Structure 1
Amino acid sequence: MRDIKFQLFEWLPTNELLTTERYSQFDRGDVEMVLEEALKLAQEQLAPSNKDGDTVGARLENGRVFMPKSFHAAYQKMCEGDWIGCINNPEYGGMGLPGVVGTAINELFFGANMSLCLTTLLTRGASYLIEKFGTDEMIKLFCERLYKGIWAGTMCLTEPQAGSDVGASKARAIKQPNGRYLIQGEKIFITGGDQDLTENIIHAVLARTPKAPEGTAGLSLFMIPKIRVKPDGSLGEPNDVVCSRLEEKMGIHGSPTCSLVFGGNNGCEAFLVGEENHGMKLMFHMMNPARIEVGLQGEAVAAATYLAALDYAKTRLQSRHWTRFKDHEAPQVPIVEHPDVRRMLFTSAAYVQAMRALLMQTSFYIDMTQVTAGEEQERYQSYVEVLTPICKAWASDWGFRVTEWCLHVYGGYGYCSDYPAEQYMRDAKIAAIYEGTNGIQALDLVARKLPAKGGKPIRELLGKAEATFKKLRGDPQFMEPAWMLGAALKQIEDISKGLTKRPDAALVVVLNSVPFLDMIGDVLGAHFLLDQAIIARTKLQGLLEADGVKTEDKDALRTYLQGKAEAAFYHNKVQAAIHFAYRVLPQVTARAVAIRAGEMGPIDAVM
């Protein structure tokens, strides 16, 4: 929680955001109180039910999905506190908090119980689509009930023959005399496609009308209630939506991943959202925020895994201290004293902070699109569009790696179900796969987002990293990390310019889109941490001066840091930035060497 508050209020100008008309009803005290309540809910309700999600899981019986009993009480508490729509329109039951605060809240929730909170993510998204593009009738019937959690929402894109290739969808929509549509088709891999937490579920579904063009250009967006809704909002008869299968998965067992059959008896009625054939364009308004939240899942589970591993390492006694390793009379020490364990833990901590910074910065830019207009608004929106695939892919990939490192901290126990590490690792992996695989995110970045607006948004974002380099290149403490950042930026620039001159440029780009996304993520992460380290160092120096501690006296400084949590926090922020630069930025150069070489082994290999 301390780093969340640091990033919100000491690094990002959230206090200034709260002075804008849109968010003026909140001040820092309000936000901190909300965060403390969110943490309490996460610790007391969500986290205790996480194990049930894994061991009991969701189950399908006679066409109905049943969730673990402990999920019901936890979900009800989320509804009672209006947490599901915490960042959404108060007119329809939301709290109206800034998105960057919602990111902090949802980090706590996803880290406590990812399976349960997947339902709330999609509910927010479905309701937002209706609020933004639905008719007055739809808004009145659905929005408040969704934001309040009385009903839930889903997103239904994938079909057996149409995974990443959404344009191959075959679900059909036939317009009826009353203006509604009858839907027929099957959707698979639908998160929360059925459950018994809510009395109704509103499915956001892509389907094709009879004369629609092929591909994504012919898809329309529909809202399909599981139970039909009467004009007064009360529930009517079932709407011919059937769960035919639950997937058996590696992780997130508490989240039902469903196959849904719509209109098996030709009785599935749907509401058209927007115009026919505009469905894919509209669905991106749900998909893009969801992609950022999927990246948040990777970071949140990584953070939870790190904290659990750190706690374990402080209490698990094993082997002698490394300075007395040959002394057989020396006592065992907590494994947190062993250098390799400390390396795994601190590298994990640095990555978590970098991922958190990326996600919070992106969320802050989203907030700025809500409180600005004209060219300024367009600039912030362009930043969000570039950062979205990086948030999703970089945070989910490296979040998973953090769970792997932290599992190693436990040794053999980490591989066993006695401790939460193995569940965290299994749960985290899906974030790199769903909501568009990370390979798809990388292709989207290099093919669409980087060239957008003549490349101006990415140049400006990397320009902020260059400003950090220039600020610190002569700083005695940060000089070497700064020059490593500058060198990494130069590698990205050289690759970007050099590839366009190659005759095989298109193939080299698509073959290396994932490592290139990683290069940008690494540079942004290092930039964010160094930027934060400047603030942390100043705060630490203030504490040291106030308490009369001399940095030249290393023993006194160490004793002081061990006894004062606030000073230790700032000290560790500085060390995390330096550590991340040394351990991560050299990988940017290594990837650049491989890309520049134009190595074609995967293409030339016979498979």
Structure 2
Amino acid sequence: MATYFSRRNLDFLLYEVFHATELTKYPYFEAHDRETFDMVLDSATHIADTLMYPYYRDVDRNQPELKAGKVTVHPKIKEFLTAVGDAGLIGASFPFEQGGQQLPELIGSCMGFIKMAANNGMMYIGLTSGAANLITTFGSENLISTYVPHLLSGKWQGTMALTEPQAGSSLSDITTSAEPLENGSYLIKGQKVFISAGDHDAVDNVVHLMLARIKGAPKGTKGISLFVVPKSRLTDDGTFVDNDVASTGIYHKLGQRGTPAMHLTMGEEDNCYGWLVGEPNRGLNYMFQMMNEARIGVGMTGAAIASAAYYASLEYAKERPQSRRLNEKNLLDSPQTMIINHPDVKRMLLFQKAVVEGSLSLLMECARLSDLVHVTEGEEKENYELLLDLLTPVAKTFPTEMGVRAVSEGLQVLGGYGFTEDFPLEQMYRDIRITPIYEGTTGIQSQDLLGRKMTIKNGKAPRLLFAEIAKTLEEAQTYDELKPYAERLRKETGRIQEVTASLLPFAMQGNIERFLMDATLYMEMFGIVTVAWQWLKQGIAAKKAQLTLGDTEDAFYESKLHTMKFYFHYEVPKTKGLATRLLDTEVLTLETGKEVIL
């Protein structure tokens, strides 16, 4: 079988770090156990091995095409969508009564990781499940019954239709309009751009979850509503007709070429109908549910691509002989060594492993919190929600930004061969580059972290996080080998608090530009420390296993501890430089009254 992820690592995180089976004590998940969890992951792996990974390059080289208003995609995509629909994987986390398997999101996130590691060019079903979930949460019974079963079957595609040419990420500036009609529907008119999976021939219909402004609604974000706008609409006599959603352009992308990114025009013939989801003027609030799900999904995609790149470069390093060990005395007389034996190559591989397994742990932390939000009530539920809200921008940013660096290091391991199409690293490098841009750029996520999440409810969310970290520190202190790393992490949380305290006065003075000037650097520091916490959690689980299992799989657990130490010694020290800049009073990126030529 192809190696693009480690099932052993996935099992370690699921059952030894996050104790996934403990979720089954809650009534909502009581129908499941480890056997059902493993069966679902086996099913996802089988689909990934047979319908996804073998076509990774072919899907990239045979991009979607727009001809005469119709979009064609690689034929294997239809097979893939049929397979995941038949296996119930699109709606795996949905309730039984809606046709789902009522699985924890912790398991669903692992399925997403497996599939994206195999072939991230087939990024279709995350959008569909997100759209179905949004309709289920806020839509009418009629919308749910009309659309959700078809979406979960894999026969229909779901999308997020937000961005417009003149607005970009500034959704308050969208101009797509919605005119109410007497029958309760709305006439939609406008344009949307960069709509992933916005049209293609692998499904029977495409259902857009679209932001638009009802005529007469307030300006800004308060006047935005959410609509279901299908490509083909159902008529009163039970037939489907064209809904005046035209594919007017297709973007040819640097990477992730298997999924079409569409320019859509609605209502050119004044015949595009949409149906309101929930209440008027609350569309952006509703859409944040799908956006936050997508942000974590993008983070998972970054981790998954980095995983595939790590295993590809690891395999190459083990098989490629070049040069001799530096300590060899008779260099020309000794045989060439495999490049994995060179310290700098080993450093690059350890960096990749640390990023992949640390990112995956953070994302699974978020998935577990999502499950706990679902099954708890009152203050406990609120605390889990706050933690999830705080970690979401970090879980989107760290795996994508660091994932880009990790794939770059993987390409470097291959040297000149990595820059060619003979090996998959060049495609992975292209594919992952979009992930720091999707669903809110790194700058937007960073401003969200520092400007909103760190201050919400008088800083309750970070207090909750530091309390969770403190629990990990206390447990780590019981192992002599982990004590130094617990102390390092304790100092790092103090560093975050010091930097935050130095920046908050600017916010209180109303100088928001100065407050958020270096929010991206703050995010980088915060992400490094958050993933250090995840690595310490993995270190604790590894030490526990060594003490209870003896020599069983000792190499696996030693590898975990070694990678944890690498992360603490190579990555964590970078926070010192970031903190130095964040505490610096020199202002260089704001308007100062002096002309600065760029």
For normalisation by structure 1, the TM-score amounts to: 0.94
Matched-pair contact (CA < 8 Å) for 2:383–2:464: no
**180-189 vs 394-403, which moves further:** 394-403
SS of aligned partner of 2:337? strand
Shift of 1:249: 1.1
List aligned pairs for 1:421-500, cutoff 5 A: 421-472=425-476, 476-500=480-504
SS of aligned partner of 2:158? strand
Matched-pair contact (CA < 8 Å) for 2:235–2:241: no
List aligned pairs for 1:181-330, cutoff 5 A: 181-230=186-235, 235-324=239-328, 326-330=330-334
Q: Note closer, same or farther for the CA distance 1:133–1:422 as it changes in structure 2 (3 Å cut).
A: same
Q: 1:524 aligns with which of 530, 549, 555?
A: 530
The residue number in structure 2 matching 1:29 is 35
**79-88 vs 281-290, which moves further:** 79-88
Superimposed CA distance per residue, residues 455-488 of structure 1 (whole angstroms, 9 cap, x where no aligned partner): 1111121232234345445854233323321221
**CA distance in 2: counterparts of 1:254 and 1:263, whole angstroms:** 28
SS of aligned partner of 2:279? coil
**CA distance in 1: counterparts of 2:248 and 2:441, whole angstroms:** 25
The residue number in structure 1 matching 2:3 is none
The residue number in structure 2 matching 1:550 is none
**150-159 vs 323-332, which moves further:** 323-332
Matched-pair contact (CA < 8 Å) for 1:31–1:101: yes
Matched-pair contact (CA < 8 Å) for 1:499–1:505: no
Q: 2:404 aligns with which of 397, 400, 406?
A: 400
Shift of 1:23: 0.8
**79-88 vs 324-333, which moves further:** 324-333
Q: 2:83 aligns with which of 73, 77, 81?
A: 77
SS of aligned partner of 1:348? helix
* Corresponding letter in the other structure for 1:572: S
The residue number in structure 1 matching 2:45 is 39
Shift of 1:68: 1.1
SS of aligned partner of 2:208? strand
* Corresponding letter in the other structure for 2:50: E
**CA distance in 2: counterparts of 1:276 and 1:597, whole angstroms:** 46
Q: 2:11 aligns with which of 5, 15, 20?
A: 5
Matched-pair contact (CA < 8 Å) for 2:309–2:407: yes
Matched-pair contact (CA < 8 Å) for 1:484–1:586: no
Shift of 1:437: 0.7
* Corresponding letter in the other structure for 1:99: E
**CA distance in 2: counterparts of 1:135 and 1:202, whole angstroms:** 16
Superimposed CA distance per residue, residues 257-312 of structure 1 (whole angstroms, 9 cap, x where no aligned partner): 00000011000011111111111111111111111101111111111111111111
* Corresponding letter in the other structure for 1:593: T
What residue ranges of structure 1 are gaps of 5+ in the alignment? Answer: 548-563
SS of aligned partner of 1:431? coil
* Corresponding letter in the other structure for 1:383: L
* Corresponding letter in the other structure for 2:291: M
Matched-pair contact (CA < 8 Å) for 1:12–1:361: yes
The residue number in structure 1 matching 2:119 is 113
SS of aligned partner of 2:240? strand
- What is the root-mean-square deviation in Å for CA atoms of aligned residues? 1.7
The residue number in structure 2 matching 1:579 is 566
Identity of aligned residues (%): 35
Q: 1:333 aligns with which of 315, 327, 337?
A: 337
SS of aligned partner of 1:29? helix
**CA distance in 2: counterparts of 1:297 and 1:98, whole angstroms:** 19
The residue number in structure 1 matching 2:556 is 569
Shift of 1:515: 1.2
Superimposed CA distance per residue, residues 563-597 of structure 1 (whole angstroms, 9 cap, x where no aligned partner): x7x22111111111111111111111211111101
Matched-pair contact (CA < 8 Å) for 2:404–2:433: yes
What residue ranges of structure 2 are gaps of 5+ in the alignment? Answer: 1-6
Q: Note closer, same or farther for the CA distance 1:325–1:220 as it changes in structure 2 (3 Å cut).
A: farther
**CA distance in 2: counterparts of 1:432 and 1:412, whole angstroms:** 26
**CA distance in 1: counterparts of 2:169 and 2:264, whole angstroms:** 18
* Corresponding letter in the other structure for 1:599: E
**460-469 vs 346-355, which moves further:** 460-469
SS of aligned partner of 1:432? coil
Shift of 1:527: 1.1
Matched-pair contact (CA < 8 Å) for 1:191–1:256: yes
**CA distance in 2: counterparts of 1:168 and 1:187, whole angstroms:** 12
Matched-pair contact (CA < 8 Å) for 1:306–1:348: yes
SS of aligned partner of 1:201? strand
**CA distance in 2: counterparts of 1:506 and 1:161, whole angstroms:** 25
The residue number in structure 1 matching 2:180 is 175
* Corresponding letter in the other structure for 1:187: K
Matched-pair contact (CA < 8 Å) for 2:255–2:431: yes
SS of aligned partner of 2:25? coil
Matched-pair contact (CA < 8 Å) for 1:127–1:142: yes
Q: Note closer, same or farther for the CA distance 1:25–1:475 as it changes in structure 2 (3 Å cut).
A: closer
Q: Note closer, same or farther for the CA distance 1:158–1:22 as it changes in structure 2 (3 Å cut).
A: same
SS of aligned partner of 1:222? strand
* Corresponding letter in the other structure for 2:292: N
Q: 1:592 aligns with which of 556, 579, 589?
A: 579
Shift of 1:149: 1.0
Matched-pair contact (CA < 8 Å) for 2:504–2:515: no
**CA distance in 1: counterparts of 2:209 and 2:344, whole angstroms:** 48
The residue number in structure 1 matching 2:131 is 126
Shift of 1:49: 1.7
**164-173 vs 508-517, which moves further:** 508-517
SS of aligned partner of 2:572? helix
Confirm whether residue 357 of structure 1 aligns to residue 348 of structure 2. Answer: no
**CA distance in 1: counterparts of 2:84 and 2:357, whole angstroms:** 26
**CA distance in 2: counterparts of 1:187 and 1:58, whole angstroms:** 18
Superimposed CA distance per residue, residues 5-29 of structure 1 (whole angstroms, 9 cap, x where no aligned partner): 1111111131110121111111011
Superimposed CA distance per residue, residues 213-245 of structure 1 (whole angstroms, 9 cap, x where no aligned partner): 10111111100110112458x541110010000
**CA distance in 1: counterparts of 2:88 and 2:15, whole angstroms:** 24
**259-268 vs 391-400, which moves further:** 391-400
Superimposed CA distance per residue, residues 395-443 of structure 1 (whole angstroms, 9 cap, x where no aligned partner): 2111111111111111111111111111111111111002111110111
For normalisation by structure 2, the TM-score amounts to: 0.95
Matched-pair contact (CA < 8 Å) for 1:52–1:70: no
Matched-pair contact (CA < 8 Å) for 2:296–2:363: yes
**CA distance in 2: counterparts of 1:368 and 1:325, whole angstroms:** 59
**514-523 vs 179-188, which moves further:** 514-523
Q: Note closer, same or farther for the CA distance 1:479–1:508 as it changes in structure 2 (3 Å cut).
A: farther
SS of aligned partner of 2:191? strand
List aligned pairs for 1:132-143, cutoff 5 A: 132-143=137-148
Shift of 1:71: 2.1
SS of aligned partner of 1:343? helix
Superimposed CA distance per residue, residues 61-88 of structure 1 (whole angstroms, 9 cap, x where no aligned partner): 1111100122222222222212111212
Q: Note closer, same or farther for the CA distance 1:474–1:101 as it changes in structure 2 (3 Å cut).
A: closer
Count of paired positions = 586
Q: 2:168 aligns with which of 146, 159, 163?
A: 163
* Corresponding letter in the other structure for 2:179: I
* Corresponding letter in the other structure for 1:582: H
Superimposed CA distance per residue, residues 338-375 of structure 1 (whole angstroms, 9 cap, x where no aligned partner): 11111101111011111111100011000001111111
The residue number in structure 2 matching 1:558 is none
